[in-house]
Amino acid sequence: MHLTSETFDQNARDALRDPVLHGALRNLADNFVERRRAAIASVDDWEGLREKARVIKEQTLCHLDRYLLQFVENAEKAGVKFHWARDGKEACGIVLNLLKKRGAKHVVKSKSMATEEIHLNAALEAEGIEPVETDLGEWIIQLAGETPSHIVVPAIHKTKAQIADLFVDKVGIEKTDDVDVLTRTARNILRQRFAEAEVGISGVNFGVAETGTIVILENEGNIRLTTGLPKTHIAVMGIEKIIPKFADLDVFLKLLPRSGTGQRLTAYQSIITGVKRNVTDEGPDEIHIVLMDNGRSRMLAHPVTRQSLACIRCGACLNACPVYQQVGGHAYGSVYPGPIGAVITPQLIGISKAKQLPYASSLCGACREVCPVKIDIPELLLHLRAEITDGTAGGAESNPQRKRKFTESLAFRMYGFAWSGPVSYGLGIKAARLMQKLVVRDGRIGKVSGFVAKLLPPLGAWTAWRDAPAVAERSFREQWRDGLGNNSQWSVVSGQ
């Protein structure tokens, strides 16, 4: 069963109780965070490079229409056919049509978040075509009938033992804990699939406007085969993947692998400019690019949400996020989990279906700190939160009617009143001091339950895990009046 964003809180609670997942996430955090740190140390001016990338992305997005046309024009000159898709359904339809027209029975696919986003596999399977995922992690997920839990390492939630069991079950090998045997098994099976495939489907990391080139990065060599071996190559790309110049790759190829996997460079970079020039050359006869909007032009419209489109899907913000490290990817109920997922998902599927996600962050800013293109994710989360409370959230719906959560908005109005001046503030504090007599023991508030927890749900939630401090007998302002304010010689000496 696939989880949805609507039940994030429950998904998260379940994930927190899963010790296997916890172990996997701990490894991820330790390894990737460390590897990234080491890798960025090998760049002289990392911060300067990030700033360059941010500026390139921002300028491109501000003139996206122009760059897109330039990209299309140049790629068409090199023999690429283009298809425009307004949304995921259209994109899936286009791919399906291309496959049907070619009578394709065997289709291989390389890892691509754009195709995950539009659930392309499900759409094709419904029409009797089962594309084979050729990235090892994606293939494992496909065998298990699951969704990726990380945008770079899709099977990060699975242990070696679970994968071995899966192989025994699905491809009928003897049980083994030898990783080499497992990868060799996968490779042998996948080679077979490559050999028989009529069409290869891929995503795109960068589309270079100046040359009409598409660039795809990877480590396993399967993308090279997916895009090079079958007669037809179909690439699905979001309209935001454009960069203006070939030389800009210098910036992004330094940033992406270092941020994502802590590598200086991925093992393979496929740089594809059009179809083969001579019949004797290698490569496909036809290349089709499906340019997909699917909510992106809506994000483009506002300067804050526009930042979401700068994402190069490196996964660094997931690895660095304390929330992701606790609950993993599936809890988000979206192909885009973690901080960037909490930002993109509500904008893709509609905020009413992912209302909790913008709040699923402590706003610690670790994501912003590691993001290679300097997306201010906390700012975006705050923007979405404000849209939710204002009821102006657009998302995938048109002009939705929204109500603020009644109790919360009441609480904030009360707080607005209580803190509006010293008199009401003083009254509020006096009331709190009086009420806390019920629950304070030894100067602190332990676990509250029963009617107090019902009356004050936040206090119940807080004290389920932590003691709460009592309101002080003499506040700072009272102590100031008591004499702290008068005596300029006053000083404190207190032992530790």
Partner 1 sequence: MKVSVFITCLVDQLCPNVGVSMVAVLRRVGCEVVFDERQTCCGQPAFNTGYRNEAQKFAKRFIKIFEESAAEAIVSPSGSCVAMVKHFHELFPTDEKWRERAGKIAARTHEFGSFLVNVLKVEDVGASSTGRITWHDACHGLRDLNIRDEPRRLLKNVKGVEFVEMSNADVCCGFGGTFSVKFPEISAGILDNKIESIEKADVCAVVSGDASCLMQIGGRLSRLDSKVKPMHLAEILACQNHLR
The DSSP bridge pattern shows strands 268-272 and 213-218 to be: antiparallel
**Partner that binds at residue 415, options ligand SF4, partner 1, none, CB closer than 5 to 8 Å by kind:** partner 1
- β-partners of residue 107 are 199
Nearer to ligand SF4, 258 or 330 (CB): 258
Contact 227, 110 (CB under 8 A): yes
Alpha-carbon gap, residue 149 to 387, rounded angstroms? 27
**C-beta of 330 vs 368, nearer to partner 1:** 368
Q: Which of partner 1, ligand SF4, none lies near 316, with the C-beta cut-off 5 to 8 A by kind? A: ligand SF4
Gap between the Cα atoms of 39 and 171, Å rounded: 37
Closest residue by Cα to residue 250 from 236, 271, 235:
271
Binding to partner 1 by residue 454, rule CB under 8 A? no
Least distance from ligand SF4 to the Cβ atom of residue 375, Å:
5
One DSSP character per residue, 384-420 reads HHHHHHHT---TTSSS------HHHHHHHHHHHHHTT
Q: How far is the CB of 224 from partner 1 (least distance, A)?
A: 38
Q: Considering only the stretches 10-18, 39-47, 87-95, 309-317, report the one whose residues sit in contact with ligand SF4 under the rule CB under 6 A.
A: 309-317
Residue 376: both structure tokens together: 């201010």
Binding to ligand SF4 in span 321-340, by CB under 6 A: 340
Nearer to partner 1, 406 or 465 (CB): 465
Quick check: 315 binds ligand SF4 (CB under 6 A)? Answer: yes
Is there binding between residue 496 and partner 1 (CB under 8 A)?
A: yes
Q: What is the 3-state secondary structure (H, E, C) of 442-477?
A: CCEECCCCHHHHHHCHHHHHHHCCCCEECCCCCCHH
Minimum distance from CB of 475 to partner 1 (Å)? Answer: 5
Which residue in the block uniquely carries the two structure tokens 């941020």?
A: 259
How far is the C-alpha of 143 from the C-alpha of 182, rounded, in Å? 14
Q: Which of the residues 387 through 406 are near partner 1 (CB under 8 A)?
A: 387-390
Task: Give the separation between CA 335 and CA 117, rounded to whole angstroms.
Answer: 6
**317 part of the interface to ligand SF4, by CB under 6 A:** yes
Window 348 to 377, contacts with ligand SF4 (CB under 6 A): 370-373, 375
Nearer to ligand SF4, 155 or 342 (CB): 342
Q: Amino acid letter at 353? A: K
Measured between alpha carbons, how far is 375 from 57 in angstroms, rounded to an integer? Answer: 10
What number of other Cβ atoms are within 10 A of residue 449's Cβ? 11
Shortest Cβ distance from residue 427 to ligand SF4 (Å)? 45
- Per-residue binding string, partner 1, 336-375, x by CB under 8 A, is ----------------------xxxxxxxxx-xx------
Q: Does 250 bind partner 1 (CB under 8 A)?
A: no
For the bound state, the minimum distance from the C-beta of residue 381 to partner 1, rounded and expressed in Å, comes to: 9
Q: Residue 382 interacts with partner 1 (CB under 8 A)? A: yes
Contact map string, positions 307 to 326, toward partner 1, x by CB under 8 A: ---------------xx-xx
| Minimum separation from the CB atom of position 375 to partner 1 (A) | 14
Minimum gap (Å) between residue 152 Cβ and ligand SF4: 8
In DSSP terms, which residues pair with 238 in a beta bridge?
A: 292
What whole-number distance in Å separates Cα of residue 13 and Cα of residue 206?
Answer: 37
Q: Contacting ligand SF4 (CB under 6 A), which of 243, 316, 323, 381?
A: 316
Nearer to ligand SF4, 284 or 295 (CB): 295
Residue 469 binding result from partner 1, ligand SF4, none, given CB thresholds of 5 to 8 Å by partner type: partner 1
| Residues contacting residue 485 through CB under 8 Å, at least 6 positions apart | none
330 vs 318: CA distance, rounded Å: 12
- Could you say which DSSP state residue 482 is in? I
How many residues belong to the chain? Answer: 496
Q: Residue 290 or 312: which CB sits closer to ligand SF4? A: 312
What is the DSSP secondary structure assignment for residue 118, as one 8-state letter?
Answer: T
Q: How far apart are CA 454 and CA 99, in angstroms?
A: 58
Query: Residue 470 interacts with partner 1 (CB under 8 A)?
Result: yes
Smallest distance, ligand SF4 to C-beta of residue 142, A: 22
Binding site for ligand SF4 (CB under 6 A): 259, 311-317, 340, 370-373, 375
